[in-house]
Structure 1
Amino acid sequence: MSATAKKTAPLPADIIARKGETPLVCLTAYTTPIARLTDPYCDIVLVGDSVGMVLHGMESTLGVTMEMMVMHGAAVRRGLAKAMMVIDMPFGSYEEGPQQAFRNAARLMRETGAAAVKLEGGVEMAETIRFLTARSIPVMAHIGLTPQAINTLGGYKVQGRGQDRARVLEDAHAVARAGAFSVVLEKVPAALADEITAELPIPTIGIGASAGCDGQILVVDDMLGLFTAFKPKFAKRYGTLGQAADAAIAAYAEEVRARAFPAPEHVFGDAVPETKA
């Protein structure tokens, strides 16, 4: 490929082929401007249902709707050129059964341009994953801590410790056998994440898991320091944009109240510029 050739977004088969190679770089995005910023650096950009908490002030992801995912998905797609876009299926859009999941997954892909969908759950979702992949809908699985199930999991707790270890391991193998092209491991012990990564034929993508996973993902507003309501242990902050925005807004407010803004260079005079004949 020449230096000027346009790089195309990877497909699920390309992601599988990256198993054991250079780790996959993944971030969430919810808007066109953020998508444009992530695109040059990411292999996968996820339109996460975390948008409900990050942008809409919800206490959990449970209130996120299909309409919200379609709107944010379409916005993100307009900002991507080289990264693969995956979109979350929101709570209540797939749990009823494979047919419901297919209708909603097809809609998300059709109306947003996403290359794949992500859904939460392990053994109990294997049949649905198999149904979707057999009908040309690539699926990224998500096991361990599954935020849509916090009411049954008892909160945002680490999953896979003690007797629960076998369940998470079984979930991992179930989604791989069902045809998922990758699996997110959220908030599971590092040793378990390493074991799953070694045993599965598909890439693992960690979030609060292990550096040994085949890729990593973070919520972009967490890593940029834009979302400051709380900070998960696994969310390293690579920037302090929230603090910078606070300082900028404070300076703007001060100048407005002092009538220092707008300054002469920001306003218009009465004179009409001369035009050449």
Structure 2
Amino acid sequence: MSATARKTAPLPDDIRAMKGGTPIVSLTAYTTPMAKMMDGVCDFALVGDSVGMVLHGMPSTLGVTMEMMILHGQAVARGLSTTMMVIDMPFGSYEESPQQAFANAARLMRETGAAAVKLEGGRHMAETIAFLVARGVPVMAHIGLTPQSINTLGGYKVQGRADQADALRADARAIAEAGAFSVVLEKVPATLADQITDEIDIPTIGIGASAGCDGQILVVDDMLGLFTAFKPKFVKRYATLGEDGKAAISAYADEVRARQFPASEHTFADKASGK
């Protein structure tokens, strides 16, 4: 093989092999430009169903459709070459049966080029995870706060406190044994997240969990300060692009109204300048 061979994106088994090593880095992505920014920087990019809230103004993720996920998955795929793409299965696309889950997971992978799918749920989804994995669909699991279940969880509450801890640990063991290659732990007490990380042999990806997890993920619009409707406690803003953008739009509006834009350097002469 040539020493200059092009670097390729990792596969699910490569992510699994990162257990206990250098922390795994991930962000959500919904568009080609954003995917290009994280390509080669993140180990995997998640086309999350959070796109419904972040880009489409929905009140939750429950209204997101397969067609929306495919559209955004295709856009993200165009921006990635050395970062793996994982795509969320939207609400209602996998819960009915393992067969339903396989048909929709196969469609998502076939039409977007995603290397894996992510689905929410613990022990009750173990059979489905095993069914998918046995048929060539790599699965990233998601337990703790599962946004698609907010109506039964009573909102966006921390999960796994007090007498819930053992149940969450059992969920983690079940999905690992079913064959998931990694698991997202969302809004889980740090001590419990560390215990789960120690107890299972697949990587844990924290979001509002613990620095001791095998990796971390955030919604990219949250950490860039683009989404400003609310800010979860677990989000660190690494930029304030929303505020910067609003200021830039205001400056543009002021200049247009004052006829300061466009200036001469932004307009064209009657004749092309000579060379």
- Say yes or no: TM over 0.5: yes
Equivalent residue for 2:243? Answer: 243
| Normalised TM-score (structure 2) | 0.98
Q: Which residue of 2 aligns with 1:58?
A: 58
**Structure 2 counterpart SS, 1:141:** strand
Separation of aligned partners in 1, 2:32 and 2:262 = 29
Please list the CA deviations of residues 85-108 of structure 1 after superposition, one character each: whole Å capped at 9, or x if unmatched: 000000000000100000000000
Match of 2:86 in 1: 86
Specify the alignment match of 1:104 in structure 2: 104
Q: What is the 5 A alignment of 1:182-261?
A: 182-261=182-261
| Residue 139 (1) aligns with residue 139 (2) | yes
Shift of 1:40: 2.3
CA distance in 2, matches of 1:5, 1:39: 17
Paired position in structure 2 for 1:164 = 164
Tell me by how many angstroms 1:242 deviates.
0.7
How many angstroms does 1:62 deviate by? 0.2
Q: Secondary structure at the match of 2:167?
A: helix
The sequence identity of aligned pairs, in percent, is 76
**Per-residue CA shift, 1:71-126, capped at 9, x if unaligned?**
00000000001111000000000000100000000000000000000000000100
- 1:153 is matched with 153
Q: TM-score if structure 1 supplies the norm length?
A: 0.97
Aligned residues, how many?
275
Secondary structure of the structure 2 residue equivalent to 1:45: strand
Two-structure CA RMSD over aligned residues (Å): 1.2
1:32 aligned residue: 32
Residue pairs, 1:58-77, within 5 angstroms: 58-77=58-77
State the secondary structure of the residue aligned to 1:174: helix
After TM superposition, the runs of 4+ consecutive aligned structure 1 residues lying more than 6 A away are: none
Distance 1:264 1:38 in 2: 37
- Give the CA deviation at 1:247: 1.0
